[in-house]
Amino acid sequence: MSVPMNVRAARAIMWTYLATGLTIFLLMLLLGIAMRAEQAGWITLAPGSFYSMLSLHGIGMIVAMAIAGLGTLWYFVNREIQLDARIAYTAYGFFVAGVVCVIVAVFPGHYGALWTMLYPLPFIGTYWPSWATGVWLIGNALAIAGFVILCAQMLAALLARYGGFRGVLAIDYVFQHRRFSEEGKEPPPPQMFAAAITAIDGLISSALGMLYGIAMIVHWIDPSVPLNPLWAKNLIYQFGHTFANLTIYIAVAGVYVGLAHCTKRKYHTSVPLVVAWWGTLLFVILAYFHHLYMDFVQNEALQYIGEIASYLAAIPVVVVTIFSGVMLVHRSGLRWGLGALFLYAGMIGWVVGGIAAVLDATIPINFDLHNTLWVPGHFHTYLLEGVLLFILGWMFVQLEQRSGTLSSLLTRWLVGIGIFGGGALFVLGFYIAGAAGVPRRYAIEPAPGPQMASIATIGAIIVLAGFLAMVFEALRMARLPATEANA
Amino acid sequence: MNGRLLLASLVLLATVLFALAPLYRHGDVPIAIHHLLHALILFGAALAALLFTWPGAPRAPGRVPWLLITLLSPLAAMLLMWPSEYSVFEREPALHALQHLGLVLFGFLTAYAGQRFAAGIGIAMSATMLLMGLLAAGGFGVSPPLQVH
C-alpha cells in the first residue's frame, strides 16, 4: 500500500518539528540540571553564568515545546484541509534562525536579562555587551514571526474548511443545535478548536510581542527613545504568558486524536466542549494581568480581571477535556502502551500544574507566593508533566500504530518512573521551597532553597535518565518494519 | 466601476489626503497623539484594501510571498513610527508627508496581501496591525522619566 504524497510530506513536517523540539528540550534539560545543581551547592558556575543560562533555559524550553506541538497541530489541520508544506518549512526556518540568534546572544554574548527582557533591564548595568541584547531581541522577533506564519496558515485553512469564524467556532452548533443536527452538519472535531484558539490568540498576542520587540530594538539602536516601563511590562507578559499558556492548548490536540485512537472510540465535539473552548479563546489573552499584581501603578480593575480570567481560561476546558478523556478510557479495553500512558499521565500533570497556577493567580494567596519558587513549580509541572507528555504520547501512538507493537513492561516502567516519577520529585522541590517563601530567579537561595534544590537535582537527573530511555525506545520502534496495514 | 470599487477608491483617496496633511497643516503634536493619527492612516489604508479585494479573495491558503508581505508590512509600519523621527518630520513637511504615504502603503499591503493569501487573513492581520498602532500610543517613545541610571 503506497502512502499519498501529501500524507508523506505532512508526516515529514511533523517529525521534523517533533525532532527539533525534543532536541532543544534535551539541551535545555541539561542546562536546567546544571542550574539546580549550582543552587544546591554541588557545582559552582562563573558569576553571571547562572543568569545567562536561566535566560536561555526559559525561552528555550517554551520554544522547544511550541515547535514540537505546532508540528503536531499542523499535521492535524492538514488532515482536514491540505496545507502548503513550503509554508511550514518557511516558519521552521524562522524558528531555527531565532533559536540560533538566542544561542549566540547567550554563548558567547552572555546575555542575562531573562526571557522577560523587561525594560529597562537589558540596557542598564549589564555585564554583557550591547550587541548580545540586540541579537537576543532579533532572535525573539524571528521566532515570533515563525509562530505568526503558522497561525495565519492554520487560521486560513480552518476558515476555508468550516466556512468562516462562525463555522470554525461552531456558533450555529451551539445556538441552533437542533437545526444544525437536522441538516446533517458536523461541527469541527475537538482538535480543530485547539488549532483555532491557538491561531486566533496567537495572532493577537504575537502582535503585542512584536510591538514590544520593535520598541526594544528601536531603543537598543536609539537610546533617546524612551519606553513606558509599565506599558512594556504589560506587553511582554501578555505575549509571554499567552504563548507559554498556548503550548498546553497546542499539545492537548494530541489527546483528542491519540486517546481516541488508543481506545478505538471517537472523541466527540459536544456543546460543553465548544463553550469551554470559547472561554479559553476569550480569557487566555486576559489572564496575564495576574503577573502584575505587585505593580501598584497598574489600574486596580485589571487586577480583578486577571484573577477572574485566570480561572475562566483554564478550568472549563480542563474539566470538559479530562472528563471526556476519562469516559473515553473507561471500560474501553485500552492496552496501556507508552502512548496511552503519556497521554493519560499528561492530563494529571495538566490538572496539578493548573491548580497550582490558579492558586497563585488568587490575589490573597499571591501575596505570599508572588515571585517565589512556587511559580516555576507550577509551570514546570504543566510543561514537563503536561505539554511534554502530551507530545510524547502522540509520538508513541504513531510509533505503536506504525509498528503494530507495544513497548515491553520493563521499558514502560523505566520510562514511566524516569519521566513521571523523577518529574514529580523535581517539581516537589520548587513547591516546598516556594511555599516556604524562597524567591525565584536567584543563583544563591536562602534556606530551605539549597536543600530543596538538592532533591530537585536528583529528580531532574532521574528525568534525564527516563528521557534518554524514551529516546532509545522511540528509535528502536522507528526502526521496526511497518505493518502492512499501517505502512 | 461598481459601488464597492468606488467606495474603496474614495476611502483610499480620503486616507491619502489625510496622510498629506503635513503639507497644508503645521504644528507640534504630542507623540502619543501622533501615534493615534498614524493608526488612523493605517486603518484607512487597510479598509480600502479590504474593499478592493472583497469578495474575490481565495478561500484556501495561497502562496508564501503574500503571507510574508502581510507579516512584514505591519512591522515596517511600526518602524516608520520611530518616535525620535517625529521632531525631524515636524520641521520637514515633505518628509513627513512621505512618511505618512509609507504608512498608507504598508497599511494597504497588510490587508491586500493577507486577503490574497486567503479570505479572512487580511482582516485578521489588519486588526492586529491596528492594535499595534493604537497600543503604541501607550508607551512607544512616551514615558515618565526613568528613576534608575
Q: Are A368 and A401 part of one and the same domain?
A: yes
Q: Chain B: residue nearest A235 by CA?
A: B135
pLDDT of residue A3: 59
Q: Are A341 and A287 part of one and the same domain?
A: no
Q: Are A226 and A375 part of one and the same domain?
A: no
In whole angstroms, give the CA distance from residue A335 to residue A337: 6
The CA distances from residue A448 to A165, A373, A460, A479, in Å, are: 51, 11, 18, 47
Residue A252: is its pLDDT beyond 80? yes
Angstroms from B70 CA to nearest CA on chain A: 10
Q: Give the tens place of pLDDT for each residue, A142-188.
A: 999 999 999 999 999 999 999 999 999 999 999 999 999 999 999 99
Residue A43: is its pLDDT beyond 90? yes
The pTM assigned to this predicted structure is 0.95
Pick B84's closest partner by Cβ from A83, A204, A222.
A222
Q: Are A277 and A423 part of one and the same domain?
A: no
Contact status, residue A361 vs residue A328, Cβ threshold 8 Å:
no
Q: Give the tens place of pLDDT for each residue, A447-464.
A: 999 999 999 999 999 999
Residue A487: is its pLDDT beyond 70? no
Mean pLDDT of A299-323: 92
pLDDT of residue A2: 54
Are the Cβ atoms of B132 and A222 closer than 8 angstroms? no
Residue A1: is its pLDDT beyond 50? no
Provide, rounded to the nearest whole percent, the portion of chain A with pLDDT above 70: 98
Residue A343 binned pLDDT confidence (cut-offs 50, 70, 90)? very high
Please state the length of chain B. 149
Q: Does B78 touch chain A (CB under 8 A)?
A: yes
In whole angstroms, give the CA distance from residue B82 to residue A5: 47
Residues in B closer than 8 angstroms to A83, CB to CB, are: 61
Q: Are A289 and A360 part of one and the same domain?
A: no
Pick B120's closest partner by Cβ from A81, A86, A156.
A156
Question: Based on the number of CB atoms within 10 Å of its own CB, is B1 exposed (0-12), middle (13-18) or buried (19 or more)?
Answer: exposed
Q: Are A225 and A206 part of one and the same domain?
A: yes
Q: Chain B: residue nearest A221 by CA?
A: B82
Residues in A closer than 8 angstroms to B68, CB to CB, are: 90, 149
In whole angstroms, give the CA distance from residue B2 to residue A310: 49
Angstroms from A253 CA to nearest CA on chain B: 22
Q: Chain A: residue nearest B60 by CA?
A: A160
Mean pLDDT of A73-84: 95
Mutate to test the interface with B, among A94, A159, A166 (most CBs of B within 10 A): A159
Q: Are A322 and A339 part of one and the same domain?
A: no
| Among A310, A334, A358, residue at a domain's last position | A334
Q: For chains A and B, what is the number of CB pairs under 8 angstroms?
A: 123
Which stretches of chain A sit within 8 Å of chain B by CB?
81, 83-84, 86-87, 90, 120, 124, 145, 148-149, 152-153, 155-157, 159-160, 164-165, 200, 203-204, 206-208, 210-211, 214-215, 218, 222, 224-232, 235
Provide, rounded to the nearest whole percent, the portion of chain A with pLDDT above 90: 94
Q: Chain A: residue nearest B149 by CA?
A: A124
Are the Cβ atoms of B120 and A165 closer than 8 angstroms? yes
Q: Which of A24, A54, A61 is nearest to A38 (CA)?
A: A54
Q: Does B88 touch chain A (CB under 8 A)?
A: no
Are the Cβ atoms of B138 and A231 closer than 8 angstroms? yes
Angstroms from A198 CA to nearest CA on chain B: 14
| Among A334, A369, A392, residue at a domain's last position | A334
Angstroms from B27 CA to nearest CA on chain A: 21
Residue A118: is its pLDDT beyond 90? yes
Q: Are A380 and A300 part of one and the same domain?
A: no
Report the domain count for chain A.
2
pLDDT of residue B146: 65
Residue A46: is its pLDDT beyond 70? yes
| Among A280, A306, A334, residue at a domain's last position | A334
The CA distances from residue A435 to A279, A339, A363, A416, A454, in Å, are: 30, 34, 15, 27, 17
Residues in B closer than 8 angstroms to A207, CB to CB, are: 74, 128-129, 131-132
The CA distances from residue A155 to A168, A403, B36, in Å, are: 9, 33, 29
Q: Are A417 and A482 part of one and the same domain?
A: yes
Residue A95: give its domain's CATH number.
1.20.210.10
Q: Are A189 and A234 part of one and the same domain?
A: yes
Question: Based on the number of CB atoms within 10 Å of its own CB, is A408 exposed (0-12), middle (13-18) or buried (19 or more)?
Answer: exposed
Q: Tens digit of pLDDT per residue, chain B (149 long)?
A: 688 999 999 999 999 999 999 999 877 889 999 999 999 999 999 999 999 998 877 777 778 999 999 999 999 999 999 999 888 888 899 999 999 999 999 999 999 999 999 999 999 999 999 999 999 999 999 888 766 65
Contact status, residue A313 vs residue A245, Cβ threshold 8 Å:
yes
Residues in B closer than 8 angstroms to A85, CB to CB, are: none
Contact status, residue A290 vs residue A366, Cβ threshold 8 Å:
yes
Are the Cβ atoms of A164 and B120 closer than 8 angstroms? yes
Question: Based on the number of CB atoms within 10 Å of its own CB, is A24 exposed (0-12), middle (13-18) or buried (19 or more)?
Answer: buried
Contact status, residue A157 vs residue B119, Cβ threshold 8 Å:
no
Q: Are A319 and A464 part of one and the same domain?
A: no
Domain range spanning residue A210?
1-254+263-334
Residue A412: is its pLDDT beyond 90? yes
Question: Based on the number of CB atoms within 10 Å of its own CB, is A298 exposed (0-12), middle (13-18) or buried (19 or more)?
Answer: middle
Pick B132's closest partner by Cβ from A120, A210, A231.
A210
Question: Based on the number of CB atoms within 10 Å of its own CB, is A359 exposed (0-12), middle (13-18) or buried (19 or more)?
Answer: middle
**Residues facing residue A439 across a β-bridge:** A372
Q: Are A386 and A482 part of one and the same domain?
A: yes
Cell, residue A407: 513497548
Residues in A closer than 8 angstroms to B38, CB to CB, are: none
Cβ within 8 Å of residue B119, ≥6 positions away = A156, A159, A160, B55, B57, B58, B59
Residue A484 binned pLDDT confidence (cut-offs 50, 70, 90)? low
pLDDT of residue B1: 64
